[in-house]
Structure 1
């Protein structure tokens, strides 16, 4: 199912593949969807650019933009590995675009010899959930967006014995990659390459090293919180949290997170957010330090058949 064909689209729409130059328009589309569902935007423009430049993504085959007859961007989709992303502008819902994009994503995943396809949907998007369920998708994991308010500067506990803490430095990237991917290997389906990981963390324009504390035992990094400072937001955002397995249950994650909250408070932010999901088992940790659930999403998955 080619992105350049119109046979799979409702009448009045046309499609083409995306390029990096389309990142601003895609970002506007995504934020329009977020405002419609949640009343606020959460996706930074550099996240959209990172998603388009992830290593191995074939723009011609793995992306699609859908425009209406007036040239307005009405929807977009992306397939990377076993994951699909799709958004339909709120002004174009109810016209069959969601189903068309889902069919395009499944066809592309089959071309890649994928045996299954997953997509994350906000729990408040009842239409998208109904569509996925009607196409044979089932719940895989739950994701939560957590928040904490910091009207006053948070207190930070002292590090555990033998642990030192400082802000992230330029030479820390490889160690942070190894630490976070080792930790995420316990639940993630695929280990990221360094370029892919860096493109979504330390190489993003919004990466905030001063709000990204790292912990060491001797010369070895054993804990890290990697954060983003999104322009125009009154909240800091935590992109990654990881503690080496043999150093857990020593309060390192709690201490690093509170150090992050303090750093953002000193930058004028009066709150902080992060995403976690049910496979990590970390929800209780975040709740113990005072974070609460703002909203949730669900990852839906479907086994693909050939043909």
Structure 2
């Protein structure tokens, strides 16, 4: 199938997005977030990681839209059953969002996906309306939680036999196994190690010192992975996972407190993390003093059949 987004309004063109476009895409995403949230919340390294990930045909897993003057007008990516689409605020109202959505559904169908999901901020009413009018329905709610540092009360001591230390080189495969095993309980698709690593431990902002690990009998049983954006006031928790047979022992709370303490030492004022309905962890985070800052909804659509084209 020829690479294109069809149809596009007059004056716009599309081509595959590459890692060379990371600065332009990050500016676009930042402009979208400033309009919607009042500030940029997505780091450059996250955009670069999204652009570097590929599936079966890298040339058509991400797309970039430009206008006749070469200005970046929109972009989108597809990985398995997930997609993300952004249209620059200055280029809205021309149907670019619907074109990108159609491309994402086509590409997902070509990759054999039976459904497609996208996360939308609950304050983004136009995007929500577009998805609903295109046959998408809400699947889960996501929450961004935050806590002021220093973080209030201390977590209870973990059960005997649990030891804790920061992440260090060589822990990658074990951390991948624990986090993906835990996330298999709710995620639609298990990530490959290469994809997981690109989004976590290989990012320039990965913070090993703020990523404590819990061990029992020499085996890794609990993981917190964090990122630290230079110059930002907040640290961010990327992953929290405890092996099923070691849950309800205070391990997650202890690891989070360890991460909070490290971020406080680094001069951070707050720490944030995302969770959603299926994890069942909202009460855990609220119980250690975190509060909901904002929310998003994951919308999903069942595609007609593998190979479906929009």
**TM-score of the superposed pair, with normalisation by structure 1:** 0.95
Write out aligned runs for 1:242-253 (5 A).
242-253=241-252
2:157 maps to 158
1:259 maps to 258
Q: Deviations over 1:255-300 (max 9, x none)?
A: 1101100100000001100010100000000000010111111111
2:12 maps to 13
1:124 maps to 123
In the aligned structure 1, how far is the partner of 2:194 from the partner of 2:248?
A: 31
Quote how far apart the aligned CAs of 1:90 are: 1.1
Q: Is the 8 A contact 2:182 2:241 kept in 1?
A: yes
Q: Residues 152 and 63 from structure 1, CA distance in 2 versus in 1: closer, same or farther, beyond 3 angstroms?
A: closer
In the aligned structure 1, how far is the partner of 2:179 from the partner of 2:75?
A: 30
Q: Residues 159 and 113 from structure 1, CA distance in 2 versus in 1: closer, same or farther, beyond 3 angstroms?
A: closer
Quote how far apart the aligned CAs of 1:159 are: 3.2
Quote how far apart the aligned CAs of 1:56 are: 2.3
1:229 maps to 228
In the aligned structure 1, how far is the partner of 2:56 from the partner of 2:283?
A: 35
Q: Residues 289 and 15 from structure 1, CA distance in 2 versus in 1: closer, same or farther, beyond 3 angstroms?
A: same
2:268 maps to 269
1:174 maps to 173
1:292 maps to 291
In the aligned structure 1, how far is the partner of 2:56 from the partner of 2:84?
A: 13
Q: Residues 262 and 289 from structure 1, CA distance in 2 versus in 1: closer, same or farther, beyond 3 angstroms?
A: same
Q: Deviations over 1:120-142 (max 9, x none)?
A: 11111000000111111000111
Q: Point out where structure 1 has 5 or more consecutive residues left out of the alignment.
A: none
Quote how far apart the aligned CAs of 1:107 are: 1.6
Quote how far apart the aligned CAs of 1:153 are: 8.0
Quote how far apart the aligned CAs of 1:173 are: 1.0
Q: Is the 8 A contact 1:18 1:59 kept in 2?
A: no
2:33 maps to 34
Say which SS state the counterpart of residue 11 (structure 1) adopts. coil
Q: Residues 152 and 256 from structure 1, CA distance in 2 versus in 1: closer, same or farther, beyond 3 angstroms?
A: closer
Q: Is the 8 A contact 1:136 1:302 kept in 2?
A: yes
What is the aligned residue count?
306
1:303 maps to 302
1:135 maps to 134
Quote how far apart the aligned CAs of 1:81 are: 0.8
Q: Is the 8 A contact 1:62 1:108 kept in 2?
A: yes
Matched, 1:183 2:148: no
Quote how far apart the aligned CAs of 1:23 are: 1.0
Say which SS state the counterpart of residue 101 (structure 1) adopts. helix
In the aligned structure 1, how far is the partner of 2:89 from the partner of 2:56?
A: 27
Quote how far apart the aligned CAs of 1:112 are: 2.1
Matched, 1:22 2:21: yes
Higher mean Cα deviation, 103-112 or 121-130? 103-112
Say which SS state the counterpart of residue 279 (structure 2) adopts. coil
Higher mean Cα deviation, 108-117 or 87-96? 108-117
Q: Is the 8 A contact 1:118 1:300 kept in 2?
A: yes
In the aligned structure 1, how far is the partner of 2:298 from the partner of 2:95?
A: 21
**TM-score of the superposed pair, with normalisation by structure 2:** 0.94
Quote how far apart the aligned CAs of 1:158 are: 3.2
Quote how far apart the aligned CAs of 1:61 are: 1.4
Q: Is the 8 A contact 2:26 2:44 kept in 1?
A: yes
Say which SS state the counterpart of residue 95 (structure 1) adopts. coil
